[in-house]
Amino acid sequence: MRKNGLIWTCIVLIVCCLLLSGSVLWNYFEKNKEQEAVAGNNTQMNETTDLLDKIENDITEDIEKEEKETRKIHLMMTGDNLMHLSVVNSGLQADGSRNYDFMFEPIKDYLALADIKITNQETILGGNQLGFSAYPRFNSPTEVGDGIANAGFNVVLHATNHAADKGIEGINNCIDFWEKYPEIVMTGIFKEIDEPNQDIGLLTIDGVTFAILNYTYSPNLSTLPKWLQGHLAMLCDWNKKTGKIDFKTIHPDVLTDIAAAKEVADVVIVCPHWGNEYTFIPTVYQKAFAKQMTEAGADLILGTHPHVIQPIEWIEAENGNRALCYYSLGNYVSTQDKAKTMLEAMAWVTFETDGETVEILEAETGAIPMVYQFQNDYRFGNVYFLDDYTDELAHSHGILRHCGSEFCVENLEKWADEVLGEWRLPSEDVLKEKVDYEIWR
């Protein structure tokens, strides 16, 4: 509609210019019948032709701009799937089978709207034959992975401090499991690889290529064992002789990977497993690593591990590069016993592209705070958006036996506002955009 209106407007302008040119020419001929008629006519006609050519070029440029319509690409990410045994047992069916589709039912509308859908599988899917276990060495049912796939996630992160809990056998079993879902980018663990870190996971959406890189600070050890080297993407450097991990220094291959990803992708997303647990404040090293990753070419940083939410901010590197950093999204599911671990966030990032450039649309980007609810027997209760969470729900939460009155709507709201600040995104804003799009379509 806008393009047709523009064309008709321009046609009217052309007609007006022609009429005006005709009038000018008539007056000219009347006044200069006997002097330089031919030369004057040629000059006037040339001026008119130039004017018409300019109008035609302007019309063409405007039409091309209209045809180069911008479009949006949405990314969402949830926090840690921390599968304590009570959550594992929640998926046991009457016939002895297991199903975990319920875990993602509360966010199905957002999954349906998003193009890039990332989840952090905190605990290894090491093979059901090895038995299920929780802290300190987790092993979770492969049916959790089926639930992730059924929900529509297309990126799964496995570089966590629990990735090696079942040894190399668990890592290989997990990789074998994900091979039955080739449409999902699984990253962070590897069977065989020549370099210490990783190949680049790629997704292309509407002609825009996204690279996804995933690293962890450690496998819950201070020394990286030789059998694990090359099988787990490491964020921190380590001594090649002793295996001792240097938690203050970023692994140089992380920066090499980012630079390589920048060569093959339009947008580079780095997902580091980092930071100190249970603190809303990023560490000095998180901030230092974020700046180094930005300088190397990262466009978006999505952090996990601390089990609580942490701030969001733009990172400005000295070389002019800029990246949006979510330091931590907290958990998605867990039965931890601290009130603030029940507050979590869903990252929602909107990219805008015209086919040539792509950038983050800040007005439609942020974090949607959510609350994980478990029952008095610690089984899965639900995941609620904080905007919809009530005192009645808070009073029935199974965590009350551990933290009493500290867990309440007032504190959840306070923490969300203090940590997320202006990046807090109302849940209905995202769904409103979905409704507007469907009506327009």
In this predicted structure, what is the pLDDT of residue 268? 98
Contact yes or no for 336/361 (Cβ under 8 A): no
In this predicted structure, what is the pLDDT of residue 438? 43
Among the candidates 52, 67, 82, a domain finishes at: 67
Of 44 and 131, the one with more pLDDT:
131
Q: What is the pLDDT of residues 371-387, one digit of tens each?
A: 999 999 999 999 999 99
230-255: average pLDDT: 97
Instruction: Give dist(CA 127, CA 131) in Å, integer.
Output: 8
Q: What phi, psi does 259 have (nearest 5°)?
A: -65, -40
Instruction: Kindly report which listed range (54-63, 91-100, 208-217, 262-271) carries the lowest average pLDDT score.
Output: 54-63
1-13: average pLDDT: 45
In this predicted structure, what is the pLDDT of residue 24? 45
175-179: average pLDDT: 98
81 and 51 both lie in a single domain = no
**Is residue 140 situated within a structural domain?**
yes
Instruction: Give dist(CA 315, CA 298) in Å, integer.
Output: 10
**Is residue 438 situated within a structural domain?**
no
Count of domains observed in the chain:
2
**Is residue 439 situated within a structural domain?**
no
In this predicted structure, what is the pLDDT of residue 431? 86
Q: What is the pLDDT of residues 51-108, one digit of tens each?
A: 777 777 776 665 555 556 899 999 999 999 999 999 999 999 999 999 999 999 999 9
124 and 177 both lie in a single domain = yes
In this predicted structure, what is the pLDDT of residue 244? 98
**Residue 427 identity (one-letter amino acid):** S
Query: Above 60 in pLDDT, residue 344?
Result: yes
Q: What phi, psi does 145 have (nearest 5°)?
A: -65, -40
77 and 63 both lie in a single domain = no
Instruction: Give dist(CA 254, CA 234) in Å, integer.
Output: 8
Instruction: Give dist(CA 75, CA 116) in Å, integer.
Output: 5
Q: What is the pLDDT of residues 181-206, one digit of tens each?
A: 999 999 999 997 655 445 799 999 99
Please report, for residues 2, 3, 79, the alpha-carbon distance to residue 60 in angstroms, rounded to integers and kept in the order given. 14, 11, 48
- Which domain CATH number covers 159? 3.60.21.10
246 and 100 both lie in a single domain = yes
256 and 129 both lie in a single domain = yes
> What long-range pairs does 383-388 form, CB within 8 A, spacing at least 24?
383/103, 383/106, 383/107, 383/332, 383/333, 384/106, 385/427, 386/343, 386/412, 386/413, 386/416, 387/426, 387/427, 387/428, 388/427
178 and 194 both lie in a single domain = yes
Partners of 195 in beta bridges: none
57 and 86 both lie in a single domain = no
**Is residue 440 situated within a structural domain?**
no
158 and 88 both lie in a single domain = yes
Domain encompassing residue 39 = 2-67
Give 316's pLDDT tier (boundaries 50, 70, 90).
Answer: very high
What is the DSSP code (8-state) at residue 346? E
Query: Above 90 in pLDDT, residue 150?
Result: yes
**Is residue 441 situated within a structural domain?**
no
40 and 161 both lie in a single domain = no
In this predicted structure, what is the pLDDT of residue 8? 47
Q: What is the pTM of this model?
A: 0.84
Among the candidates 67, 101, 120, a domain finishes at: 67
166 and 283 both lie in a single domain = yes
Among the candidates 18, 47, 67, a domain finishes at: 67
What is the DSSP code (8-state) at residue 199? P
In this predicted structure, what is the pLDDT of residue 48? 66
336 and 229 both lie in a single domain = yes
**Is residue 148 situated within a structural domain?**
yes
In this predicted structure, what is the pLDDT of residue 71? 95
103-119: average pLDDT: 98
**Which tokens belong to 75?**
């990314």
26 and 100 both lie in a single domain = no
Torsion of CA 54, 57, 58, 61, to 10 degrees: -160
